[in-house]
Amino acid sequence: MSADEIDIRARRQVATEERRMRSRHSMSLRDAFAEFIRHPSPWIMAAFLATALVARMWLGGWGLADLLVPVVMVASFPLVEWLIHVFVLHWRPKRLGPVTIDPLVARKHREHHRDPRDIPLIFIPWQVLIAVVIAAVIVGLFVFASVERGLTFLVVLPAIGLVYEWTHYLIHSDYRPRHAFYRRLWRNHRFHHYRNEHYWFAVTTAGTVDRLLRTDPDPGTVEKSPTAKDLHALSRRD
């Protein structure tokens, strides 16, 4: 197949997906936000952010590191997001003697792949978030050189988490993409769910880390995966 033919196929696939989305009722951002805040994870992260922010402002002691910490966290998040998606969310259950290691977050993500339109399954499970909050507090208070910098970390972390949660929810909602950057995010994630689950792992960035790690192929060159909605074909073993 020539490069032109591959490009045509890819464009047709994207056009088909966009037509399907336009055929559904278009949701406004206000309606999308109203649905977003009906779920527990945004509230958990917002409460975490507010608490950490108040503590950081009260403690004071600002320094250059308070700029460096957010820059490093934001710059590294696309890679962190990719690693979590590949190695945690797409975790394949493993047997360790009589015990099966299959974390809740991985089980819920498999359910999310089975039905990407199920709104509650889009969100990070609240049980997982509580564990993350506890772990983050331990890291923030005991790993950083100072409590001030640790609190800065604890402010930035839920802020990034809210951006991720909102972006992921919006992609799966009926909100219609209106800007080129968001359309790219939407297309990549749709390809991940409906074409091949082994590619397009980034959610909040437009394929930057996917390109770096070679998981952002031309969609026209990728065959449709029979396990995109049945990760690891686990349901076939039941």
Best CA proximity match to 109, nearest among 217, 201, 236, 185: 201
- As a whole number, mean pLDDT of residues 197-206 equals 95
* pLDDT at res. 234: 81
Q: How far apart are CA 116 and CA 168, in angstroms?
A: 11
pLDDT tens figures, 92-112: 999 998 899 999 999 999 999
Report the half-sphere exposure of 220 (CA within 13 A, side-chain side).
15
Q: Residue 4 pLDDT > 60, yes or no?
A: no
* pLDDT at res. 210: 96
pLDDT tens figures, 143-187: 999 999 999 999 999 999 999 999 999 999 999 888 898 999 999
* pLDDT at res. 14: 54
**pLDDT, greater one: 17 or 129:** 129
* pLDDT at res. 8: 52
For the chain, what is the total number of helices (H) and then of strands (E)? 9, 2
